[in-house]
Amino acid sequence: MSILKKREDIRNFLKDMVKNNMLDGIIMADMEGLPLISYTAEEFDEDTVSASLAAILSAGEISASDVGKANLSQIIVDTEEGYIIIVPILKQYIVGIITGKDSKLGIVRMVAKEIESFLEKLT
Domains defined for the chain, CATH in brackets = 3-122 (3.30.450.30)
The string of pLDDT tens digits covering residues 1-21 is: 467 688 999 999 999 999 999
95-111: pLDDT as tens digits: 999 999 999 989 999 99
The Cβ of residue 24 has, within 10 Å, a number of other Cβ atoms equal to 18
pLDDT of residue 44: 86
Task: Please provide residue 75's backbone torsions phi and psi, each rounded to the nearest 5 degrees.
Answer: -130, 135
Q: Enumerate the β-bridge partners of residue 38.
A: 27
Average pLDDT over the chain, rounded to an integer: 92
Smallest Cα–Cα separation from 85: which of 117, 114, 121, 111? 111
Of 115 and 41, the one with more pLDDT: 115
pTM of the complete model: 0.92
